[in-house]
Chains A and B, each alone.
Chain A
Amino acid sequence: MTARLLQTREWIHGWLLVLPAMVFLFAFTHIPAIATIWHSFFSTPRGRRPSRFIGVENYEKMLADPVFWKVLGNNLWFALGTIPTSVAIALVMALWVNDRLSGRSFVRMAYFTPTVLPLIAVANIWLFFYTPGFGLFDQITGALFGWPQSNLLGSPASALNAVIVVTVWKEAGFFMIFYLAALQSIPVSLREAALIEGASRWTIFWRITFPLLMPTTLFVSINAVINSFRLIDHIFLLTDGGPDYASTVLLFYIYETAFEYWETGYGATLTVALLFMMALLAIGQFFFLDRRIHYK
Chain B
Amino acid sequence: MPDVMPLAAPGTSSPAPAARAAASGGQSIRLAGVTKTWGATTAVDNIDLDVPAGSFTVLLGPSGCGKSTTLRMIAGLEPIASGQLLFGVRDVTRLPAAQRDISMVFQSYALFPHLSVAENITFGLKVRRVSRAERDARLKRVAALLGLSGLIHRKPSELSGGQQQRVALGRAIIAERPICLMDEPLSNLDAKLRHEMRVEIRALQQQLGFTMVYVTHDQVEAITMADQVVLMNSGRIEQVASPREIYARPASPFAARFIGTPPMNILDLDAMTGGMATGLLLGIRPEAVERASADRPATLSGTVSAIEFLGADTLVDCTVGTQTLQLRLAGGADIERGELLALHLPQHELHLFDAATGLRQDHRLHEIGPLLRL
Contacts and interface: CB of A to CB of B under 8 A. Distances in A.
Interface of A: 187, 189-190, 192-200, 203, 207-208, 211-212, 214, 294, 296
Nearest to B155: A294
Given A192-B77, A203-B127, A296-B157, A197 B110 contact: no
A294 B120 CA distance: 15
B112 A197 contact: no
A195 B104 CA distance: 10
B98 A199 contact: yes
A289 to B, nearest CB: 14
Contacts of A189: 106-108, 110
B113 A296 contact: yes
B183 to A, nearest CB: 9
Contact of B113 (A198, A200, A203, A294): A294
B97 interface: yes
A200 B108 contact: no
B141 interface: no
A198 B114 contact: no
Of residues B76, B110, B128, which shows the largest number of chain A Cβ atoms within 10 Å of its Cβ? B110
Given A195-B97, A196-B75, A196-B102, A190 B123 contact: no
A101 B70 CA distance: 25
Contacts of A192: 75, 77, 97, 104, 106, 110
Interface string B76-105: 110000000000000000001111101110
Nearest to A198: B98
25 contacts: A187-B110, A189-B106, A189-B108, A189-B110, A190-B110, A190-B112, A193-B110, A193-B112, A194-B112, A194-B123, A195-B76, A196-B97, A196-B102, A197-B98, A197-B123, A197-B175, A198-B98, A198-B99, A198-B124, A199-B127, A200-B98, A203-B127, A214-B114, A294-B113, A296-B113
Contacts of A190: 110, 112
B171 interface: yes
Given A190-B112, A207-B127, A214-B114, 19 more contacts: A187-B110, A189-B106, A189-B108, A190-B110, A193-B110, A194-B123, A195-B96, A195-B97, A195-B98, A196-B76, A196-B98, A197-B123, A198-B98, A198-B124, A200-B98, A207-B112, A208-B112, A211-B114, A212-B114
Contacts of B112: 190, 193-194, 207-208
Interface in B284-313: none
A192 B104 CA distance: 9
Contacts of B110: 187, 189-190, 192-193
A212 B124 CA distance: 18
A187 B111 CA distance: 10
Contacts, number: 68
Contacts of A195: 76-77, 96-98
Contact size range, B: 20 to 34
Contacts of B75: 192, 196
Nearest to A201: B98
Top 4 nearest A-B pairs (CB, nearest first) are A197-B124, A294-B114, A193-B110, A189-B110
B77 A197 contact: no
A212 B115 CA distance: 10
B142 to A, nearest CB: 14
Contacts of A196: 75-77, 97-98, 100, 102-104, 124
Interface string B37-71: 00000000000000000000000000000000000
A201 to B, nearest CB: 10
Interface string B171-199: 10001000000000000000000000000
Contacts of B103: 196-197
Contacts of B104: 192-193, 196
Of residues A187, A190, A195, A196, which shows the largest number of chain B Cβ atoms within 10 Å of its Cβ? A196
B124 to A, nearest CB: 3
Nearest to A186: B113
Given A203-B127, A296-B157, A197 B114 contact: no
B217 to A, nearest CB: 18
Contacts of A187: 108, 110
